[in-house]
């Protein structure tokens, strides 16, 4: 037996994998690349199975838990979070004996799902008892760590989080660029001219929100509405695809030690580096402008970009963020404000296509607020406050198809009881927002699209009751900071779209008998084609 083989057998498995990557893989020929990849995956799977066994730790086995291999099966078949939640979670939550708590294995081990409004309220309001889990060290060097995991608002805790929130809060309160959203909607209308009547709404909303978050976030125009083949559109699409790859998400070791075996992954990292370098240059340029007293006075206060407002926040005594913190937060704003809003708009357009009466009622509201002149009217902030029924449509869309299915993991800081169930210190926990918003114990006919739930006397009023039943943006102090930003994007685009077009689902649409979604934690409709008819 060689010295290398003997060392390999004596090492703990994690170190053995490291040795395999450093010593064995480099000796393999190009011809054996498939074997190398297979061995790397096998070793990672063994390590995963060894450290996260098929049953929860004994201290948690008094809590109902879902099949370990069922999760792997869903991953293998790339089942969307929405579809798995509807197929597996909802029957568990709705079962007679369920109190809305169950365990399921995830990337970080066994996680307690909280799927009842009362316990969700406690989790959202007790920050010190349920802080976010620290993922920085575990995923260092992965694509997710480059783009997602860093010193940003969604990831940090305690005093660090409070300091950043103090800087970001004023910026988000001041920045509400409804004129920009209206102008981008006009540009989208131009791009739709003379291109037939059927459009891929998923693609259209992805490009519209990319331009919106780029300009409103840090003053960078991706120009994706008119040029879907631009290098920046392809670059961000590639990054987005890479962040959602289930194999590298489940086995981050492949991304750090065996990346070279996956040329597509190597290229994705290169494109991510280019994107991050662009953010670095934008931050430097904005800081230089601020130092030289350069300010775009042509823009109204609410139309200015978030980065400029955060930089100015330091001069106003609200605190200063480092370049690293600024860049990390811009990445977080991108992930929180791009796909989520694009998917919410796509879902809303789908439900309005499927419910012509609701669409027409919403159109009449838009006309009553913006007028019936046969031309594009850009809503003002005051106009958006009057969109009562459109707001109900948005809230029902976010309830039935909220783009995010569950919160980021949190860790319980002391032994507690939730719904009479003992939960030991150190337990990982998520709020299952999809489960809460689809439980028939909370909502009547939860799978039926019904905006009247959120009318003045509708059942949606329970969200302000004993628990929290409508939570697409979370709640409490750590509620999504961009919630109002996103809701105003949706109000502007939907109201203008309703005045300009009437739309329906094509007869041959795969979504005709139910929306088809995809995605890990962030989910959206797949290639949603919609037929539009111009009204002016």
- Tens digit of pLDDT for each residue in 24-33? 555 555 555 5
SS (H, E, C) 62-104: CCCECCHHHHHHHHHCCCCHHHHHHHHHHHHHHCCCCCCEEEE
Residue 38: predicted pLDDT: 63
- pLDDT tens-digit map of 432-480: 999 999 999 999 999 999 999 999 888 987 655 567 999 999 999 999 9
**Quick count: other Cβ atoms within 10 Å of Cβ 123?**
23
Q: What value does the mean pLDDT take over residues 87-99?
A: 96
Structural tokens at position 19: 């040795």
- pLDDT tens-digit map of 149-186: 889 998 999 999 999 999 898 888 888 899 999 999 99
Q: Give, as one character, the DSSP assignment of residue 130.
A: S
Residue 518: predicted pLDDT: 82
Q: What value does the mean pLDDT take over residues 512-532?
A: 86
**Quick count: other Cβ atoms within 10 Å of Cβ 172?**
18
Structural tokens at position 206: 């992805």
Q: Give the DSSP H/E element, type plus range, for residue 174.
A: helix 158-174
Is residue 43 very low, low, confident or very high in pLDDT (cuts 50, 70, 90)? low
Residue 300: predicted pLDDT: 75
- pLDDT tens-digit map of 242-297: 988 878 877 888 998 899 999 999 999 999 999 999 999 999 999 988 887 766 55
Residue 487: predicted pLDDT: 95
Is residue 4 very low, low, confident or very high in pLDDT (cuts 50, 70, 90)? very low
Whether 484 has a pLDDT exceeding 60, the answer reads: yes
- pLDDT tens-digit map of 235-255: 988 998 898 887 887 788 899
Could you give all domains of the chain from N- to C-terminal order, each with its CATH number?
1-51 (no CATH), 144-534 (1.10.630.10)
Residue 353: predicted pLDDT: 97
Q: Which residues pair with 517 in a beta bridge?
A: 525
Whether 1 has a pLDDT exceeding 70, the answer reads: no
Q: What value does the mean pLDDT take over residues 111-119?
A: 96
CB 511 within 8 A of CB 404: no
Whether 328 has a pLDDT exceeding 90, the answer reads: yes
| Top-ranked range on mean pLDDT: pick from 14-28, 188-202, 344-358 | 344-358
Q: Give, as one character, the DSSP assignment of residue 114.
A: E
Q: What value does the mean pLDDT take over residues 302-331?
A: 86
Which residue pairs from 156-165 have beta carbons closer than 8 angstroms and sit at least 24 positions apart in sequence? Answer: 156/132, 157/127, 157/131, 157/132, 158/131, 161/478, 163/319, 164/319, 164/321, 164/325, 164/329, 165/477, 165/481
| Residue bearing the bigger pLDDT, 122 or 40 | 122
User: Phi and psi (nearest 5°) for 211?
Assistant: -65, -40
CB 221 within 8 A of CB 212: no
Q: Are strands 109-114 and 101-106 parallel, antiparallel or unpaired?
A: antiparallel
Is residue 7 very low, low, confident or very high in pLDDT (cuts 50, 70, 90)? very low
CA 374 to chain centre: 36
Q: Give the DSSP H/E element, type plus range, for residue 430.
A: strand 428-431
Residue 375, marked binder: no
Q: What value does the mean pLDDT take over residues 221-234?
A: 89
SS (H, E, C) 455-518: CCCCHHHHHHCCCCCCCECECHHHCCCCHHHHHHHHHHHHHHHHHHEEEECCCCCCCCCCCCEE
Is residue 11 very low, low, confident or very high in pLDDT (cuts 50, 70, 90)? very low
CB 115 within 8 A of CB 102: yes
Mean pLDDT of the chain: 87
User: Phi and psi (nearest 5°) for 422?
Assistant: -70, 130
CA 446 to chain centre: 22
In whole angstroms, give the CA distance from residue 247 to residue 265.
Answer: 11
CB 433 within 8 A of CB 471: yes
CB 120 within 8 A of CB 468: yes
Q: Give the DSSP H/E element, type plus range, for residue 422.
A: strand 421-423
Three-class SS of residue 474?
strand
In whole angstroms, give the CA distance from residue 102 to residue 440.
Answer: 17
**Percent of the chain residues topping a pLDDT of 90:** 60
Three-class SS of residue 418?
strand
Residue 383: predicted pLDDT: 97
């Amino acid at each position: 037996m060689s010295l290398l083989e003997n060392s390999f057998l004596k090492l703990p498995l994690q170190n053995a994998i490291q040795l395999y990557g450093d010593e064995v893989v480099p000796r393999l020929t190009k011809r054996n690349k498939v074997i190398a990849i297979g061995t790397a995956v096998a070793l990672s799977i063994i390590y995963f199975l060894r450290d996260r066994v098929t049953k929860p730790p004994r201290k948690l086995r008094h809590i109902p838990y879902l099949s370990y291999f069922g999760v792997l099966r869903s991953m293998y078949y790339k089942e969307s979070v929405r579809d798995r939640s509807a197929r597996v979670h909802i029957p568990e939550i709705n079962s007679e004996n369920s109190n809305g708590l169950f365990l399921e294995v995830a990337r970080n081990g066994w996680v307690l799902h909280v799927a009842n409004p009362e316990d969700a309220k406690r989790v959202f309001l007790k920050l010190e008892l349920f802080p976010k889990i620290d993922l920085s060290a575990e995923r260092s060097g992965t694509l997710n760590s480059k783009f997602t995991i860093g010193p940003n608002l969604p990831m940090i805790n305690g005093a660090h989080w409070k300091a950043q929130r103090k800087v970001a809060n004023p910026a988000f309160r001041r920045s509400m660029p409804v004129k920009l959203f209206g102008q981008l909607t006009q540009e989208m209308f131009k791009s739709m001219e003379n291109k037939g009547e059927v459009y891929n709404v998923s693609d259209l909303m992805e490009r519209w929100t990319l331009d919106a978050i780029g300009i409103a976030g840090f003053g960078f125009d991706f120009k994706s509405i008119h040029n879907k083949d631009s290098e920046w559109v392809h670059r961000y699409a590639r990054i987005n695809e890479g962040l959602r790859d289930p194999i590298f998400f489940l086995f981050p070791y492949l991304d750090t030690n065996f990346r070279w075996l996956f040329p597509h992954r190597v290229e994705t990292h290169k494109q991510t580096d280019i994107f991050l370098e662009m953010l670095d240059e934008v931050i430097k340029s904005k800081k230089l402008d601020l130092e030289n007293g350069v300010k775009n006075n042509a823009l109204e206060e609410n139309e200015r970009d978030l980065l400029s407002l955060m930089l100015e926040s330091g001069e106003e005594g609200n605190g200063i963020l480092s370049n690293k913190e600024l860049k990390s937060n811009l990445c977080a704003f991108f992930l929180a404000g791009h796909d989520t809003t694009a998917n919410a708009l796509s879902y809303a357009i789908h439900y309005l296509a499927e419910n012509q009466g609701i669409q027409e009622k919403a159109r009449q509201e838009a006309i009553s607020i913006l007028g019936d002149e046969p031309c594009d009217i850009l809503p003002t902030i005051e106009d958006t406050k009057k969109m009562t029924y459109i707001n109900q449509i948005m809230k029902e869309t976010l309830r039935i198809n909220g783009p995010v299915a569950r919160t980021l993991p949190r860790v319980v800081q002391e032994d507690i009881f939730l719904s009479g169930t003992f939960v030991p210190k150190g337990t990982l926990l998520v709020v299952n927002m999809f489960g809460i918003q689809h439980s028939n114990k909370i909502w009547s006919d939860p799978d039926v699209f019904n905006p009247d739930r959120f009318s003045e006397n509708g059942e949606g009023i329970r969200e302000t009751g004993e628990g929290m039943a409508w939570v697409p943006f979370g709640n409490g102090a750590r509620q999504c900071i961009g919630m109002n930003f996103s809701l105003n994007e949706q109000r502007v685009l939907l109201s203008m779209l309703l005045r300009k077009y009437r739309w329906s689902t094509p007869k041959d649409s795969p979504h005709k008998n139910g929306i088809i979604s995809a995605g890990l934690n962030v989910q959206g409709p797949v290639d949603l084609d919609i037929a539009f008819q111009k009204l002016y």
